[in-house]
Amino acid sequence: MHVTFTEEELAFREEVRSFFRTEISQNIQDKQSQRVPLEREDQIQFQKALFDKGWAGYNWPVEYGGTGWSLVQKYIFQAEMADANMPGIVTFGLGMVGPIIYTFGSDEQKQRFLPDILESNIWWCQGYSEPGSGSDLASLKTRADRDGDDYIVNGTKFWTTLGQYADWIFCLVRTSSDVARRQEGISFLLIDMQTPGVSVKPIITIDGVHEVNEVHFEDVRVPAANLVGEEGKGWTYGKVLLQHERTGTAGVARTQYRLRNIRTQAQRSVRGATPLCEDRNFMRKIAAVEVELKALEYTELRTLASISSGEAPGAESSILKFKGTELQQAVDELYVEAAGYYALPYVPEQYVLGFPDEDRIGEGVETDSSLRYFNFRKASIYGGSNEIQKNIIAKHVLGL
């Protein structure tokens, strides 16, 4: 596959580059360049800037507020967003539940939820995993029992990313146990996080960050109108959502940016030390990742082509997920190796805007390399573990 840009596409690329340089808050750009964690308001501000430009739903159909972009335009947009070191879009609303609602939801649900998702007025989180139900999601135990015009929800969701910020959560829940296959008794439900009986408990990860949560439901009353599609068909909808999640999880453009960045760093001599570019073994590792990343990029382009023609991503999404996360972790290892002993200390104050340069350790960004390395061990687990993805590929591609 060979990508050649037309004059119109090159003009589009310049428009995207200019937008990210001039239309995004300097505060957000500074935080990104210095690895300062973004607040909820920063992320919403970024996504609203995309909405104001008409680009928030770049993967959505035109009839629901999408851009109508071609495959190549989507590819350019993703590449330029990564190359500008932009935050990326929080995927739970725009990339996950939005497509499920406009594909399977009722007209009332589309009118109620889609405009706020597109404008980032509502923050969504995902309620899939449970204690004891991760990769084997069909074993989930959170129940939703029908009571008149409502469902009564009881159970616990686990590893809920950014659930502390969320206004709503989309959940897979068990609505029936009297089924031949466990997957048949699962439904897809939308739940307001402010509903009485919903509680959020933080889980602090190894890097000391409050990123994930435990969400508990105790006799939570949810209108039956919040059921997406048919009762008992949630497994089907959830698989479609996971295919979109896995496609996005690959993070090809972002990994390419990080790899270019570390290649640039390898050219520099820090405090008179021999630059890493003279270490043939280190440069060989970079080259090996680059080759695999280029192959994955072409797989992503094929998947985007399928999505652009109206198809859902298939088993290719599993290839993107497991290989993409493996390459992300490989780049994390390169950053730790490049940081050397600067990866050992961690001074949180360094990751606050305005911290004096003369007080920084190393170049000022190395000390979080090991923390990112440990945190992103999870990348090969979330969205369906990589072992599960290989089983999917064996079944649907190889016919085993």
Q: Tell me which residues are annotated as active site.
A: 245
Q: Are 254 and 79 in contact (CB under 8 A)?
A: no
Q: How far apart are CA 276 and CA 282, in angstroms?
A: 7
**Helix (H, G, I), strand (E, B), or coil: what is residue 191?**
strand
DSSP structure string for 197-257: TEEEEEEE-TTS-EEEEEEEEEEEEEEGGGEESSTTBHHHHHHHHHHHHHHHHT-HHHHHH
Distance CA 102, CA 188 (A): 14
Q: Quick one: DSSP state of residue 190? A: E
Tell me the C-alpha to C-alpha distance, in Å, between residue 198 and each of 57, 117, 171, 216: 29, 21, 13, 6
Look-up of token digits 């089924």 = 179
User: Over the Cα atoms of the chain, what is R_g?
Assistant: 22
Strand, helix or coil for residue 110: helix
**How many angstroms separate the CA atoms of 154 and 152, rounded?**
7
How far, rounded to the nearest angstrom, does the alpha carbon of residue 36 sit from its chain's CA centroid?
19
Q: What angle (nearest 5°) sits at the alpha carbon of residue 214, between those of residues 96 and 101?
A: 20
> Which tokens sit at 147?
């009571």
Q: Which of 216, 247, 236 is nearest to 316 (CA)?
A: 247
